[in-house]
A and B are shown apart, each in its own frame.
Chain A
Amino acid sequence: MTDSASSGQPKLTAHVKAAGCAAKISAGELGEILRELPSLKSPALLTGMDHFEDAAVYRISEDVAIIQTTDFFPPVVDDPYTFGRIAAVNALSDVYAMGGRPVLALNILCFPTCDYPLEIVRAILKGGADAIAESGAVLAGGHSIQAPEPIYGLSVTGLVHPSAILTNGGAKAGDALVLSKSIGTGVGLLGMKGEQLSATAQQSLLKNLTTLNDQILAAGLQYELHAATDITGFGLIGHLHEMAEASGLLASINAAGVPLLPAVRQLAAEGFVPAGAYANRQTYQPFVNYIDAVDDSLMDLLFDPQTAGGLLFSLPAKDATLLTRDLKALGVAAATIGAFRTGKSGQVEVSLYDKA
């Protein structure tokens, strides 16, 4: 991490109110904002704003559809290179969530060049560029402006065969839900900002935040995937709800089986809970049915807005254990966390068995 206290410049996260995907406008507010916006249709637009899809998909020929997405946010960590990488990993993720591969990326940058030395912004862009290179996409420019608060992210174009698009709406009754990467980045980042994380806990958090979803998607594509999404600002339950509703099914999960980052349970219990988690809870609580009493700290994590989260797959139950095994072999946290069944559309049922 960059020690900036001695150099006089503010820490990168110093004035950031809400970090990462916790900075997202809440689903409830977004719904209000978008309500009056005309929803334009085109036969070539394969997925749009309905069901809070991860990205727009536009068919340009029988064999090719483009995936277009953008994502950006203020610094989540003080180290500029790491921030750049996390922002890029997060933006690229939307393409993977739709089953595609990123081909082209443009930088989006807001930066107060008077407050920080230029090497800081250079490091942010380097972190992003390295992640883009790793994804196989090409960085082809971007746009930057002066702004009081640093913001970085990407606009990404991806490609996918129109028949291979993964949406959050294709899940079938009886499917199992496999989650990759651990939950708890919102709480973890607050803990990190408050210097409450041990070195190993911080390492796990940063690994979760900087891991591209490319290999995770590749592992999933070895099986018959019915639906997929990436877990970001709406939290695990929010994205589960969106997937369940788009698929017209009920999602049932075992909260005890959800992989959590180290230390986040304790941090949540001590009140290191981002505003976004409370907002998500308020928005999605009406769709949640608790079979067991889930305590506040675990519930906070189920609603915790995730930055650069993993992919959530819906696939035939018989393949769930195999996929979980493959993901773990990649060094990624993974678990079968539940299943879809017929029932009230969009409902999320939360149980608590001791072990998954």
Chain B
Amino acid sequence: MEERIDLRGLTCPEPVLRTKRLLDDQSILKVEALVDDQVCVNNLSRLSRSLKATVTALPKEGYFQVVIERGQSDAQLSRSSEKHGQPAAKPAESSLADSSQKTAEVIFLAKDTFGDGDAEFSKTLLSLFLQSVLETGHQPRAILMANTGVRLMAADSPALKVLQDFKANGCEVLACGLCVEFYGLKDVIAKDQITNMFAIVEYLFAAEKVISP
């Protein structure tokens, strides 16, 4: 069964409340609701998610049309939300939520080499490693550098470019402040990329996986 409902002009929480009451009736599979603003769209999106229903919001002139559908399989569910996904009508914070839900891997570099062989060769290998991580599309949440690892951020480091690429992709690239000072790199490394042991510990313990080549 389908229902259409005009919720324009109602004050919060009436729009979400009335939609919820409609959807409490399991025989109703689809609701088309008209709402005033983005706040209502966000709230109906949350309601739909809690009911495992799909939601599509289309901006109209001065209002939004929200379509909530349920009763589909999971596969259909993801496909239909992709198909109907209207960037303009997505909940305003969806991109922010996404950015906080990246993979939970952290790369921890406590030296500027990959293994302990010939010094120059080992440095080259580390750059190659980072380059490969980037190219294979892995998106670690953070790359943390300590001890000689902070030298990777020096102006003449062969790994600098790839670290910048990671940062541009939204990965936190952070160097231990004490180490930066010790190795005399304080003036070359941007302030917002300098962190402390406390933060390093929090990143490592919050990580699902720590990769330390």
Contacts and interface: CB of A to CB of B under 8 A. Distances in A.
Nearest to B93: A281
A285 B196 contact: no
Given A271-B42, A275-B39, A285 B93 contact: yes
A349 B50 contact: no
Interface string B159-198: 0000000000000100000000000000000001001101
B26 interface: no
Interface in A186-234: 190-191, 193-194, 196
A278 B39 contact: yes
A191 B13 contact: yes
A276 to B, nearest CB: 9
A273 interface: yes
Contact of B206 (A17, A274, A291, A297): A291
A278 B199 contact: no
A29 to B, nearest CB: 15
Interface in B43-79: 43-47, 49-50
A57 to B, nearest CB: 33
Contacts of B192: 344
B47 A278 contact: no
Contacts of B13: 190-191, 193-194, 272
Given A15-B11, A194-B13, A273-B42, A293 B100 contact: yes
Nearest to A285: B96
Contacts of A341: 196, 198
Contacts of A274: 12
Contact of A270 (B20, B42, B93, B96): B20
B130 interface: no
Contact of A291 (B46, B50, B93, B203): B203
A343 interface: yes
Contacts of B38: 278
Contacts of A190: 12-13
Interface residues of B, number: 36
Contacts of A17: 11-12
Contacts of A278: 38-39, 42, 92-93
Given A272-B13, A274-B12, A351 B206 contact: yes
A273 B43 contact: yes
B45 to A, nearest CB: 7
Interface string A265-291: 000111111110010011001000111
A15 B16 CA distance: 16
Contacts of A299: 97, 100
Most chain B Cβ neighbours within 10 Å, of A252, A274, A293, A297: A293
A294 B47 contact: no
A321 interface: no
Contacts of A342: 196
A190 B45 CA distance: 17
B202 interface: yes
A18 B13 CA distance: 10
A296 interface: yes
A300 B46 CA distance: 11
A349 B11 contact: no
Given A278-B92, A293-B100, A270 B206 contact: no
B20 A349 contact: no
B100 A290 contact: yes
B144 to A, nearest CB: 12
A139 interface: no
17 contacts: A193-B13, A194-B16, A270-B46, A270-B47, A271-B42, A272-B17, A273-B43, A278-B39, A290-B100, A291-B203, A292-B104, A296-B46, A296-B49, A296-B97, A300-B46, A341-B196, A343-B195
The 6 closest A-B pairs by CB, nearest first: A271-B43, A271-B46, A271-B47, A290-B100, A194-B17, A293-B101
